[in-house]
Chains A and B, each alone.
Chain A
Amino acid sequence: MKSLWDKVWSFFSSIKLAIVIFALIALTSIVGTVIEQQAPYETNMKVLSKLVGTGLAPSVYKGLDALGFMNMYRSWWFMTLLVLFALNLLVCSIDRFPAIWRIMRTPVKPISPDQMKKMPIKDELSLPDNLNAVLENAISAMKSAGFAAKQETGPDGAVQLYAQKNAWSRSGVYVTHVSIIVILLGAMLGVLFGFKGFINLPEGYSTNVVYSTNMDMSDTSQDPQRASLMGAVDSAGGDFQKAAHLVGKSLVDFKKSLISIGVIPLDFQVYCDQFQVQYYGQSDMPKAYRSLLTVVENGKPVVSKWIEVNHPLKYKGVMFYQASYGLSDDLSNGRAVLAIRPVGGQTETKRLRIGDSFPMPGTNETVKLAEFNPALAFDDQGKPETYSKMMTNPAVRVEISGNGGAPVSKWIVQRYPETWSLPDGSSIGLTDFWGVQYTGLQVRKDPGVWVVYLGCILLALGLYIAFFISHKKIWIRVQPDKKGILLNVAATCPKNRHAYERDIEKLVKHLKGGN
């Protein structure tokens, strides 16, 4: 009678379970790639309408939603599958480990001539030589092939040399399996103790919250709660303590309810000083973009760093990645950064709003910033237009007056310095239009990522051992007979047999040629 424990154990150590889990993970994942995850309701309704027709789509949607397929990689049953998978792997490895351990620890032993004949790799040759010379030769041949030979003389006077190498490589499979468990553990640490969020931060603004990317966008029921909590944060000027007080909660509870609506509070403020894009030549294809971020803690700036794609900022375990950027809807906060160079004078920098004016040094002219265009282009009639939703070609129009007559109007374009010069030899350069772009940041905290990386290293190592290193054994039997010496070679290895066969051939050749 098997005990319950035995039953559970054999259930989890079965390769059949592994196959079922593999199949379940694969099949459900396929569904997850067809249905867009965490997408708004309409997106997936569109997909489903295409697949099953508009009539069925709503009920299919409901069904799939009830089963958690709209956010399936975080659903309880998918997590369960992953846990089962890990358990299966663990139990399976533990179950087989003793046997493998024995194989790894068992020294090779001499084998009988019959056994030698049954080995997958074998050879036989006779040499007209004396026993000792052949033995010496064979030992050195084995040594150069990486085997430390042991020797035993049988009752019939035959001497057997035998050795093995890389017995430890049997552990490669287990390293592989353990690495997968390690990776899953690391991922779990990240889910439990970390977060993934994003924030669009305009130049000149700061934040101490980010928005979770794990929120299910199809669920809008939490909107009222969200409005009240965020309203409290706003009226408290970003101070969580005060905000908690406003809604009558403790700070801890307040932070918890923020997290529950997908708003993640940070322990510090992040300020976006500046955002810049660099383009390939005259094209609008970005070559690089970067933001200057400053972390402010307890009112004091602590770190400042330019971040760009593939070069994040890390502070207190929270990583800030440059992910995207865009143009704010409200352009009224913008300031033109001008480099003004009068004739024969020094360049001077000025920051001005649209509508401001300034006297051009050394002249009696007045320059007024009349207009800003984030993506200036001219249509067929030569009228200015805005050709893109991004700040791809920022330009300001200035009106210069003071020389009598009507004011002269001129576009100054940041990316085209030839537009900067004025007829009298002075120039007004536009070096930036600050305060209208936002930087899109991915924000992550993941204490498990190093565990995952460790797991990846183990995985690579384990696979390398499992596939490219093999446990090799060799036996050479040397028996004096009438004509001289009869030599039998036998060898086994579980992997890459052909390569090993060639090694053995070489060794045999060496034995033949060595006399």
Chain B
Amino acid sequence: MGSSRFFGYSEMAYILAMVAYITHIAFRKKVIGVTATSLAVFGFASQTLAILLRWREFYHLSGMGVLRSIPLTNLYESIIFFVWCLMLGYLLMEFRYKNRSFGAFVTPVAAVALLFISLSGMSTAIEPLVPALQSNWLLAHVTMSFISYSAFALSFSTGLMYLIMTTEHKKEGAYIFWTVTLGIFVSVLLAMGLDYMRFHVDMKPDEFMKSFLFKSTYKNDSAMVQVISYLATAFLVFIFWKYGYALKKLISGFNLQSSVLDEITYKSVAVGFPIFTLGGLIFGAIWADQAWGVYWSWDPKETWSLITWLIYAFYLHARFLRGWRGKKIAMVAVMGFVAVIFTYLGVNLLLSGLHSYGSR
């Protein structure tokens, strides 16, 4: 299995790159910065190679055409692809804006996503495709969806950084918004981490996801543990609210102008929105039409895609027509990505639907 070795390399490289980027912010040494970039580029290169190798393995296994064998058929592969797009987007931005500070925010996302895979014991096996998934439209749909998700992920991080940088006091709506969002975000991640630790056995992702998620915390059999989990979340949110300014200090050290952040947020949305519309909504509809004869069936996954789309349409209109700028619009960008995450994971994990994709 050549591919898994290179996935391993890329995971290591991204983790080291994360450390280097963060150190770079702290010490601002050119050497460290160059090291960080080299590590990220190396990680990206080996990830690219790994994806290509897996593609080839899948091609030999499935006995179908080259395009049909693109490794984008389950949760594992889609997370890998998401990270790949994210890193590609980030590296392009680093070269374009000549600023490395941002890497300290993106590489952790990449590293956490890959760690999440390793910790979860999620099935990494190459599985053949069920008939409904054997469609070129689906391929275009999935690929473009993830490209747009990566663009939205970028807008999320810049939007969040913008909020962290520009909010002034604890009573301010935007401050409360970002601390609460981040607090819940981190709590949910931690809770999922606990689930993974607890059920770190060889399980099919489907079983795992649906029946074990939040079982060690919010949905534990013991009411006591449930209450404690909610309290812990509340506490974490409180901590974020109380000490959020520490993050602000950190980010102020980045030498980023808030207007640049605002612009990157907008640009990412402006790139993500058309791709999402075409790939996520239109191609998805065409595929569903061919496979089931229903281009739109209001199943939860579709509906959540629509909600996500509406939020980003709202973003564009609020910005252009109402002249929203700054904190208000940054909050919309952050909410948009929360909807993306829900569409991507939440629907599979929490709601059921006809999309077998991703929950398998």
- A residues with a Cβ closer than 8 A to B are 15, 18-19, 22, 25-26, 29-30, 32-34, 36-37, 73, 187, 196, 280, 285-289, 308-310, 312, 319, 321-323, 442-444, 449, 452-453, 456, 459-460, 463-464, 466-468
Does B256 sit within 8 A of A, measured CB to CB?
Answer: no
Contacting residue for A288 out of B127, B131, B282, B303, CB 8 A: B131
Please, which residues of chain B bring their CB within 8 A of the CB of A464?
A: 274
Does B270 sit within 8 A of A, measured CB to CB?
Answer: yes
Please, which residues of chain B bring their CB within 8 A of the CB of A312?
A: 290, 293
Q: When the two chains form their complex, are residues A309 and B293 in contact, meaning their CB atoms are under 8 A apart?
A: no
Q: When the two chains form their complex, are residues B132 and A285 in contact, meaning their CB atoms are under 8 A apart?
A: no
Interface window among B114-122, B170-178, B205-213, B310-318: B310-318
Q: When the two chains form their complex, are residues B311 and A309 in contact, meaning their CB atoms are under 8 A apart?
A: no
17 A-B residue pairs with Cβ-Cβ distance under 8 Å, sorted by A, are: A15-B322, A26-B310, A29-B306, A29-B307, A34-B351, A187-B296, A308-B131, A310-B132, A310-B291, A322-B131, A442-B293, A444-B294, A456-B282, A459-B277, A459-B282, A467-B270, A468-B274
CB distance from B9 to the nearest CB of A (A): 31
Q: Taking CB as reference atom, which chain B residue is nearest A176?
A: B277
Q: When the two chains form their complex, are residues B132 and A309 in contact, meaning their CB atoms are under 8 A apart?
A: yes
Contacting residue for A25 out of B285, B310, B351, CB 8 A: B310
Does B76 sit within 8 A of A, measured CB to CB?
Answer: no
Q: Taking CB as reference atom, which chain A residue is nearest B61?
A: A280
A288 and B68 CA atoms in complex are apart in Å by: 14
A452 and B132 CA atoms in complex are apart in Å by: 22
Known contacts A26-B310, A29-B306; is-contact A309 B298 (Cβ 8 Å): no
Give the number of residue pairs across the A-B interface with Cβ within 8 Å.
Answer: 97
Q: Closest 8 CB pairs between A and B?
A: A33-B300, A309-B131, A444-B293, A463-B274, A321-B293, A73-B298, A442-B293, A456-B282
Please, which residues of chain A bring their CB within 8 A of the CB of B289?
A: 449
Contacting residue for B274 out of A196, A456, A467, CB 8 A: A467
A425 and B129 CA atoms in complex are apart in Å by: 39
Q: When the two chains form their complex, are residues A33 and B131 in contact, meaning their CB atoms are under 8 A apart?
A: no
A22 and B316 CA atoms in complex are apart in Å by: 13
Q: When the two chains form their complex, are residues B131 and A449 in contact, meaning their CB atoms are under 8 A apart?
A: no
CB distance from B147 to the nearest CB of A (A): 15
CB distance from A345 to the nearest CB of B (A): 35
Q: When the two chains form their complex, are residues A196 and B291 in contact, meaning their CB atoms are under 8 A apart?
A: no
Q: Taking CB as reference atom, which chain B residue is nearest A456?
A: B282
Please, which residues of chain A bring their CB within 8 A of the CB of B128?
A: 280, 285, 287
Per-residue CB proximity of B278-297 to A under 8 Å, as 1/0?
A: 10001001100111111110
CB distance from B65 to the nearest CB of A (A): 14
A15 and B304 CA atoms in complex are apart in Å by: 23
Majority DSSP secondary structure for residues of B touching A: helix
Q: When the two chains form their complex, are residues B306 and A309 in contact, meaning their CB atoms are under 8 A apart?
A: no
Q: When the two chains form their complex, are residues B307 and A32 in contact, meaning their CB atoms are under 8 A apart?
A: no
Please, which residues of chain B bring their CB within 8 A of the CB of A25?
A: 306, 310
Looking at A22, A34, A288, A289, which has the most chain B CB atoms within 10 Å of its CB? A22
A312 and B321 CA atoms in complex are apart in Å by: 45
Please, which residues of chain A bring their CB within 8 A of the CB of B134?
A: 288, 309-310
Please, which residues of chain B bring their CB within 8 A of the CB of A444?
A: 293-294
Q: List which B315-354 residues lie within 8 A (CB) of chain A.
A: 317-318, 321-322, 347, 351-352
Contacting residue for B303 out of A32, A310, A463, A466, CB 8 A: A32
Q: Taking CB as reference atom, which chain B residue is nearest A468?
A: B274
Does B135 sit within 8 A of A, measured CB to CB?
Answer: yes
Q: When the two chains form their complex, are residues A26 and B307 in contact, meaning their CB atoms are under 8 A apart?
A: yes
Contacting residue for B293 out of A26, A288, A319, A456, CB 8 A: A319
Please, which residues of chain A bring their CB within 8 A of the CB of B322?
A: 15
Looking at B135, B273, B298, B314, which has the most chain A CB atoms within 10 Å of its CB? B298
CB distance from A512 to the nearest CB of B (A): 25
Does B125 sit within 8 A of A, measured CB to CB?
Answer: no
Does B130 sit within 8 A of A, measured CB to CB?
Answer: yes
Known contacts A19-B314, A287-B131; is-contact A310 B290 (Cβ 8 Å): yes
Q: When the two chains form their complex, are residues B295 and A29 in contact, meaning their CB atoms are under 8 A apart?
A: no
Q: When the two chains form their complex, are residues B293 and A460 in contact, meaning their CB atoms are under 8 A apart?
A: no
Q: When the two chains form their complex, are residues B347 and A33 in contact, meaning their CB atoms are under 8 A apart?
A: yes
Q: When the two chains form their complex, are residues B131 and A196 in contact, meaning their CB atoms are under 8 A apart?
A: no
Q: Taking CB as reference atom, which chain B residue is nearest A71?
A: B298
CB distance from A439 to the nearest CB of B (A): 13
Please, which residues of chain B bring their CB within 8 A of the CB of A323?
A: 292-293
Please, which residues of chain A bring their CB within 8 A of the CB of B303?
A: 29-30, 32-33
Q: Taking CB as reference atom, which chain A residue is nearest B134?
A: A310
Q: Taking CB as reference atom, which chain A residue is nearest B277?
A: A463
Please, which residues of chain A bring their CB within 8 A of the CB of B298?
A: 32, 37, 73
Contacting residue for A452 out of B277, B295, B313, B314, CB 8 A: B295
CB distance from A75 to the nearest CB of B (A): 12
A309 and B356 CA atoms in complex are apart in Å by: 15
A29 and B271 CA atoms in complex are apart in Å by: 26
Q: When the two chains form their complex, are residues A196 and B282 in contact, meaning their CB atoms are under 8 A apart?
A: no
CB distance from A283 to the nearest CB of B (A): 8
Q: When the two chains form their complex, are residues A460 and B277 in contact, meaning their CB atoms are under 8 A apart?
A: yes
CB distance from A84 to the nearest CB of B (A): 14
A289 and B127 CA atoms in complex are apart in Å by: 18
Please, which residues of chain A bring their CB within 8 A of the CB of B307?
A: 26, 29-30
Known contacts A22-B310, A37-B298, A456-B285; is-contact A310 B277 (Cβ 8 Å): no
Please, which residues of chain B bring their CB within 8 A of the CB of A288?
A: 131, 134
Please, which residues of chain A bring their CB within 8 A of the CB of B274?
A: 460, 463-464, 466-468
Q: When the two chains form their complex, are residues B351 and A33 in contact, meaning their CB atoms are under 8 A apart?
A: yes
A443 and B351 CA atoms in complex are apart in Å by: 26
CB distance from A275 to the nearest CB of B (A): 13
CB distance from A185 to the nearest CB of B (A): 14
Looking at B131, B271, B321, B347, which has the most chain A CB atoms within 10 Å of its CB? B131
A289 and B134 CA atoms in complex are apart in Å by: 12
Q: When the two chains form their complex, are residues A196 and B294 in contact, meaning their CB atoms are under 8 A apart?
A: yes
Q: Taking CB as reference atom, which chain B residue is nearest A283?
A: B128
Contacting residue for A285 out of B130, B135, B278, CB 8 A: B130
Q: When the two chains form their complex, are residues B304 and A33 in contact, meaning their CB atoms are under 8 A apart?
A: yes
Q: List which B217-276 residues lie within 8 A (CB) of chain A.
A: 270-271, 273-274
